[in-house]
Structure 1
Amino acid sequence: MTPSDRDATGLLTRPDPFVQLITPTGERVRDDVHDPWVRDIDLDVLARLYRDMVVVRRLDTEATALQRQGELGLWPPLAGQEAAQIGSARALRGDDFVFSSYREHAVAWVRDVQPAELLSVWRGTAASGWNPYEHNMAVPQIIIGAQALHATGYAMGARWEGTDTAAIAYFGDGATSEGDVNEALVFAASFDAPVVFFCQNNQWAISEPVGLQSKQPLARRADGFGMPGIRVDGNDVLAVLAATRIALDRARRGEGPTFIEAVTYRIGPHTTADDPTRYRTEPELAEWRERDPIARVLTFLEASGVDAEGLQRDAQAEADRVAADLRAAITTLADPEPMSVFDHVYAEPNSHLDRQRDHYARYLAMFDDASHEASGSEGGAR
Structure 2
Amino acid sequence: MSYTAATVQLLSQEGTLVDSDAAAEYIPYIENLDDEQLREFHRNMVVIRMIDLDAANLQRQGELAMWIPSLGQEAAQVGSGFAARPQDHLFPAYREHAVARIRGVDPIKLIEMLRGLSHGGWDPKKNNNFHLYTLVIGSQTLHATGYAMGIQLDGNTANGDLDSDEAVMVYFGDGATSQGDVSEALVFAASYQTPQVFFLQNNQWAISVPVSKQSRTPLYLRPSGFGIPGVQIDGNDVLASYAVTRANLDAARSGTGPRFIEALTYRMGAHTTSDDPTKYRSSDELEFWTRADPISRFETYLRSRGEGDQFFADVVAEGADAASDIRRRTHELGSPPASSMFANVYSEPHPVMDAQLAWLEAYEASFETSAGSQA
TM-score (normalizing by structure 1): 0.88
Distance (whole Å) between structure 2 residues aligned to residue 58 and residue 278 of structure 1: 25
Q: Paired residue for 2:136, among 110, 131, 143? A: 143
> Partners of 2:345 and 2:178 in 1: how far apart?
29
- Residues 305/353 of structure 1: CA separation in 2 closer, same or farther (3 Å cut): closer
Range moving further from structure 2, 318-327 or 188-197: 318-327
Deviation at 1:306, TM superposition (A): 2.1
Shift of 1:364: 6.2
Once superposed, which parts of structure 1, at least 4 consecutive aligned residues long, lie more than 6 Å away? 349-352, 358-366
CA distance in 1, matches of 2:154, 2:63: 44
Runs of 5+ unmatched residues, structure 1: 1-12
Flag structure 2 segments of 5+ consecutive residues without an equivalent: 157-164
- 2:146 is aligned to 153
Matched-pair contact (CA < 8 Å) for 1:116–1:333: no
Counterpart CA distance in 2 for 1:149 and 1:126 is 23
Are 1:62 and 2:54 an aligned pair? Answer: yes
Between structure 1 and structure 2, the one with the greater Rg is: 1
**C-alpha displacement of 1:344:** 2.0
User: Structure 1 residues 74-83 or 127-136, which shifts more?
Assistant: 127-136
Match of 1:5 in 2: none
Query: Of 16, 19, 25, which aligns to 2:8?
Result: 19
Instruction: Using the aligned pairs only, state the percent identity.
Output: 48
Deviation at 1:359, TM superposition (A): 7.6
Distance, in Å, in 2 between the alignment partners of 1:264 and 1:49 is 17
Q: Corresponding residue for 1:252?
A: 253
- Contact kept? 2:196, 2:253, Cα under 8 Å: no
The secondary structure found in structure 2 opposite 1:317 is helix
Distance 2:299 2:350 in 1: 57
**Matched residue, 1:115:** 107
User: Structure 2 counterpart of 1:183, which letter?
Assistant: E
RMSD: 2.3
Q: What's the CA shift for 1:360? A: 6.2
Question: Offset at 1:153?
Answer: 1.3
Equivalent residues of 1:159, 1:193 under 8 A apart = yes
Structure 1 stretch displaced more, 114-123 or 235-244: 114-123
Matches within 5 A, 1:30-45: 30=19, 31-45=23-37
**1:293 Cα shift?**
0.2
Deviation of residue 347 (structure 1)? 3.8
Separation in structure 2 between the aligned mates of residue 348 and residue 313 of structure 1, nearest angstrom: 49
Q: Following the alignment from structure 1 to structure 2, what is the Cα–Cα distance between the partners of residues 258 and 304? A: 33
Matches within 5 A, 1:257-336: 257-307=258-308, 309-336=309-336
Query: For residue 236 of structure 2, what is the aligned residue in structure 1?
Result: 235
Aligned residues between the structures: 362
Q: Describe the superposition over 1:58-108 as per-residue Cα deviations: whole angstroms up to 9, x where unpaired.
A: 110111111111111111000000000000000011111111011000001
Change over 3 Å in CA distance of 1:303–1:226 after alignment to 2: same
Bigger shift: residues 334-343 or 17-26: 334-343
Greater CA drift, 339-348 or 240-249: 339-348
SS at match of 1:335: coil
Deviation at 1:128, TM superposition (A): 1.5
Amino acid at match of 1:109: R
- Following the alignment from structure 1 to structure 2, what is the Cα–Cα distance between the partners of residues 283 and 42? 37
2:39 alignment partner AA:
A
Instruction: Give the corresponding residue for 1:10.
Output: none
Matches of 2:167 and 2:43 in 1, distance apart? 26
Which residue of 2 is the match for residue 6 of structure 1? Answer: none
Contact 1:43 1:301 in 2 (8 A): no
| Structure 1 residues 158-179: Cα deviation after superposition (integer angstroms, max 9, x where no partner) | 1222221011100111011111
Offset, 1:331: 4.1
Whole-angstrom CA distance in 1 between matches of 2:8 and 2:114: 35
- Does the CA contact (< 8 Å) of 2:46 and 2:315 recur in 1? yes
Contact 1:77–1:271 (Cα < 8 Å) also in 2: yes
Residue aligned with 2:67, SS: coil
1:124 equivalent among 105, 116, 120: 116
